[in-house]
A and B are shown apart, each in its own frame.
Chain A
Amino acid sequence: MENRVYSANKDEFYPPVPTKGTQRRRTNFIIQLFSFFRLNLKIMLIVVKGHS
């Protein structure tokens, strides 16, 4: 990236960055549709379990 700024994290290790494949999966309709329902279920369970 042209504009990459190194000074702010010069003393840090470099964090992982996603590969092209990971980026594609993040917007893949089928995978994301499955994630949508899976994550919603997870959120719902957290809410329900959290109070009595």
Chain B
Amino acid sequence: MKVVVLGAGISGHTAAAFLKKKLGKKHDVVVVSPSQYYQWVPSNIWVGVGRMTVEQVRFKLEKVYNRWGIDYKQAKVTAIYPEGDSTSEKGFVEIIYTNEVKKGETERVTYDYLVNATGPKLNFEATEGLGPGKNTVSVCSYDHAAHAWEELQKSIELMKQGKKQRFLIGTGHPGATCQGAAFEYALNIAFEIKRRNLSHLAEITWISNEYEVGDFGMGGAFIKRGGYITSTKIFAESVFAENNIKWIKRAGVKKVEPGVAYYETLDGEMHTAEFDFAMLIPAFSGHDIKAYNKSGEDITSVLFAPNKFMKVDADYAPKTFEEWSIKDWPQTYQSPGYENIYAAGIAFAPPHPISKPMKSKNGTAISPAPPRTGMPSGVTGKIIAQNIAEAIISGKMQHKHTASMGRMGAACIVSAGFSMTKGLGATMTVSPIVPDWEKYPDWGRNINSTVGEIGLAGHWIKLFLHYMFLHKAKGYPFWWLLPE
């Protein structure tokens, strides 16, 4: 049997590793990824403030896959033929190579099982003037983060010369997600500026599509803190106030020009925010992968949702916010149309957002898309691998392993400054990720598992996780014992 994994990020790499471990040499595992590197995305924040190098957050995939016996193709998938075509009875994917030797060459790769873990497309095009090479920087990938650090150094140099600098950090699209990464970057910039005694020359502004700060695309959370149960809104506002960061919320950035961002707020008004340095997270979408049936007809809409993420075993029926339930969220990540296709990590289409959808008076949807951090990405990659491997070995698909975002928790360690003695990190955990108001009618989540705590320990944990997950990803001894 042959399992093809598309993508080698947290989810795809985890899936490929567990598939090969369970299936051994008897079956083939193929990984198709356009980049030659694995990157530990959560540490890109530190690349963006010059506290880590690019080499510290990435490594070459080929060496690891050669050692594991995985067939690695540095290529991008362009189309899926789940039923095969007139020349092939088996499903296959069409790929185009991106490595220097075979660049531009195409190939058909057949499969018995397909795991789509292609992650998000950073959709900078959705906002005019947004992104590296245009008017803002990004920390979404290691090369973007390295570029962000170059630009940040220029601002720091200007501050050293006594010139005031305005920093604009947040989301760059009315429907963007990943507020946590931008939150981290804002705090790290504040920390680095403070470390250089330049705070009096910096004006840092948080801009976000969240209804309240601390929403993070998951409708916020309630945490036990200081003898009270409080919301992440208070938590985030407190962190901003402490770091002298002002905030603009309910804002959808629609256009960016050199030094100025144009945004609409929920009250329907248009505003501008001026900046000298801006890091704004783009909207995410799925990749441009087409799908065709046996006779060559386009069935992209059967496999993929309109946002280009892959449809899985979720309930996609339109529902009002009040009707949302954790039962809407997928558990096995199997395609409803083709039982040998799965989507892991960010590649699966969520049934709906987690935060309450909001529209401005002009009809612009201004609210976060649902986030899917490293932990659920790793977990979904692993359970898909376990189910497929067990099906191949036993000859029967049983889906013994499930993981719903309405049941699994997530930990997000928000770095707030890199230093072994003075650094800070906000440890945030929620369980479950999607609030379950039936099981937890008071707070939506298990209040004992939901944490928001700031301290040096948070920095140590983030650093510890950096080394632990790179150890795991490189397949060093006992890697499989490490959790997702």
Contacts and interface: CB of A to CB of B under 8 A. Distances in A.
A35 B238 contact: no
A8 B429 contact: no
B378 to A, nearest CB: 9
Contact of A39 (B203, B431, B453): B453
B457 A33 contact: yes
A48 B427 contact: no
Contact of B461 (A2, A12, A39, A48): A39
B234 interface: yes
A42 B238 contact: no
B166 to A, nearest CB: 11
A50 interface: yes
Contact of A17 (B242, B451, B456): B242
Contacts of A28: 456
Contact of A8 (B247, B403, B454): B247
B375 A47 contact: yes
B291 interface: no
Contacts of B201: 3
B483 A5 contact: no
B64 interface: no
A47 to B, nearest CB: 4
Contacts of B315: none
A35 B258 CA distance: 44
A21 B217 CA distance: 32
A26 B237 contact: no
Given A2-B200, A12-B237, A36 B460 contact: yes
A47 B330 CA distance: 17
Give the most central of A16, A17, A31, A40: most B CB within 10 Å. Answer: A16
Nearest to A6: B246
Interface residues of B, number: 49
Contacts, number: 115
Contacts of A26: 424, 454-456
Give the most central of A8, A18, A50: most B CB within 10 Å. Answer: A50
B409 A49 contact: yes
Interface residues of A, number: 37
B305 interface: no
B44 interface: no
A32 B457 contact: yes
B74 to A, nearest CB: 31
B389 to A, nearest CB: 15
B449 interface: yes
B342 to A, nearest CB: 15
Interface string B328-352: 0000000000000000000000000
A14 B242 CA distance: 11
B401 A32 contact: no
A9 to B, nearest CB: 7
Nearest to B483: A47
Given A3-B200, A50-B431, A17 B461 contact: no
Given A17-B238, A26-B454, A9 B244 contact: no
A34 B14 CA distance: 31
A50 B407 contact: yes
Contacts of A8: 205, 246-248
Contacts of B424: 26-27
B396 interface: no
B458 interface: yes
B411 interface: yes
B278 interface: no
Given A39-B427, A40-B461, A51 B454 contact: no
B414 interface: no
A44 to B, nearest CB: 6
Given A5-B203, A17-B241, A46-B411, 4 more contacts: A25-B455, A32-B455, A39-B461, A43-B429
Interface of A: 1-5, 7-9, 12, 14-18, 25-29, 31-33, 35-36, 39-40, 42-52
26 contacts: A5-B246, A8-B247, A8-B248, A9-B237, A15-B241, A17-B238, A17-B241, A27-B421, A27-B422, A29-B456, A35-B453, A36-B457, A39-B453, A40-B461, A42-B449, A43-B429, A46-B409, A46-B411, A46-B429, A46-B431, A50-B409, A51-B379, A51-B382, A51-B402, A51-B403, A51-B408
